[in-house]
Amino acid sequence: MIGIQWRTKALRQLRKIADQGQREKIFAAVDELRSFPDCRNVKKLKGRDQYRLRVGKWRVIFTKSLEILYIEEVKRRGEHTY
């Protein structure tokens, strides 16, 4: 089973989301990453060693190192998300 570690920046971005229900959806989706790479809504980003998880209008950017996934950022989907 893969471990998940949140970066400080990602936790700050998550706390800024006003909708509590949306935050819970993001946490639940990130918890499903424990079965990585057999996950839905995950794509590798071009030209980077990062992946993105789509949760509605939100994107969770993460990296994989050995058996740990590092959650780097949580951003609303927009023109400058990636």
Instruction: Count up the domains in the chain and report the number.
Output: 1
pLDDT digits (tens, 9 = 90+) for 36-68: 888 889 999 999 999 999 999 999 999 998 889
- CATH number assigned to the domain comprising residue 29: 3.30.2310.20
Q: Is the pLDDT of residue 19 over 80?
A: yes
Tell me, yes or no, whether 53 lies in a domain: yes
Query: pTM (2 decimals)?
Result: 0.87
Q: Considering Cα of 37, then 26, then 4, then 44, what sign does the dihedral take?
A: positive
Tell me, yes or no, whether 81 lies in a domain: no
Share of the chain above pLDDT 70, in %: 95
Residue 38: predicted pLDDT: 85
Residue 66: predicted pLDDT: 85
Residue 79: predicted pLDDT: 66
